[in-house]
Amino acid sequence: MSEIETLSFEEAMRELEATVGKLETGEASLEESIALYERGASLRAHCEKRLREAEERVEKITLSASGQPGGTEPVEGM
């Protein structure tokens, strides 16, 4: 398991925001910028995965609460 996979959604988002901030300043060297971009892409993918997992959990809760088998409705804002 990679270090990024151990981060909570909130931790990953904070780090992603900090990474984007560093890239936006333009103060990093080319090599540093590439490394930051790669890490940012991994953090973004991790956040998307966590959001999908959360959406699936909410859908299961909604489904079991309604007692209705079959389709679910998408969660707003996802």
Tell whether 75 is covered by a domain: no
29: domain CATH number?
1.10.287
Does the CA dihedral 77-57-70-64 come out positive or negative? negative
Q: How confident is residue 68, by pLDDT bands cut at 50, 70 and 90?
A: low
In a domain, 40, yes or no: yes
Domain limits at 10?
4-66
C-alpha span between 55 and 17 (Å, rounded): 22
Indicate whether 72 pLDDT > 70. no
Question: What is the reported pTM?
Answer: 0.75
49 in any annotated domain: yes
pLDDT at 55 > cutoff 60: yes
- Identify the pLDDT of residue 38: 97
Tell me how far CA of residue 19 lies from CA of 16, 75, 76, in angstroms: 5, 29, 28
Q: How many domains does the chain have?
A: 1
